[in-house]
Amino acid sequence: MNAAEGLLTRLRGVYGIVDDGPGFELSPVAWARALTQGGASVIQLRFKRTPMGEALAQARTIRRENPGVLLLVNDRVDLALLCDADGVHLGEHDLPIADARRLLGPERVIGATIRNAGEGAARLSEGANYLGAGPVFASATKSIEVPLLGVEGLRRICETLGEAPVVAISGIDEHNIASVVAAGARAAAVIGAVGKAADPASAARRLSAAFEGSP
């Protein structure tokens, strides 16, 4: 087992995304802390608006406070390296996987967003370690102008790709998280279900319990 494969053993359950977009009052550091307290196994930092210096300071604090989680950075390979994150997640229009791998080396994790099984097979062949499949449900936090997969679409992707780790993305909350587990997802990405909750740590705890309690 190489280093990246070892890190992937943490990829299960609640995959919390910390977002700096408008509409979230929770600070990134407090958000990450709530996710860890609630049992999240993965934290992805999605800094789209925060100045780089501030984002780096926050990312380093989050890394220091949450040593046991799989810490990923959305898009920014430079930020991931500087804060000693475990890897990155790359969207459709982000840095190509091969170029990210050159910078990150073999020991860090690379995830990639996909919309169907064909894209999943392609991203795996390019060197992705896991796949973020979505949108499964309509997002409550941003507009996504692509068709929804739904639970059955997610199931087809998981079945077609076999043992490849798949993270279900978009619109997941404590009421539907069990359905993505049943469809074969290794983890479930959550944003607003924690970031907009009155008690974020309790919300994360309920999501973790719902995931683990799924058949």
Detail the DSSP E strand segments found in 47-141. Answer: 70-74, 87-90, 109-114, 130-133
Upstream peptide bond of 135 is cis (omega within 30 degrees of 0) = yes
124-160 burial string, b = 16+ CB within 10 Å, else e? beebbbbbbbbbbbebebeeeeeebbebebbbbbbee
Q: Retrieve residue 103's tokens.
A: 């910078």
CA–CA separation, 96 and 106 (whole Å): 15
Q: Are 159 and 191 in contact (CB under 8 A)?
A: no
Q: Which domains does the chain have, with CATH numbers?
A: 3-212 (3.20.20.70)
Q: How confident is the model over 126-141, as pLDDT tens digits?
A: 999 999 999 999 987 6
Return mean pLDDT, the chain: 95
| Encoded amino acid at 79, one letter | L
User: Which tokens in the block code for residue 36?
Assistant: 């860890």
Task: Evaluate if residue 24 carries a pLDDT over 90.
Answer: yes
Asked if residues 120 and 153 have their Cβ atoms less than 8 Å apart, the reply is: no
pLDDT tens, 63-121?
999 999 999 999 999 999 999 999 999 998 899 999 999 999 999 999 999 999 999 99
HSE, side-chain direction, 13 A CA sphere, residue 14:
32
- For the stretch 47-63, pLDDT in tens is 999 999 999 999 999 99
Residue with tokens 């936090």: 141
Determine the Cα–Cα distance for residues 192 and 175; give it in Å rounded to an integer: 13
Q: What is the mean pLDDT of residues 141-148?
A: 80
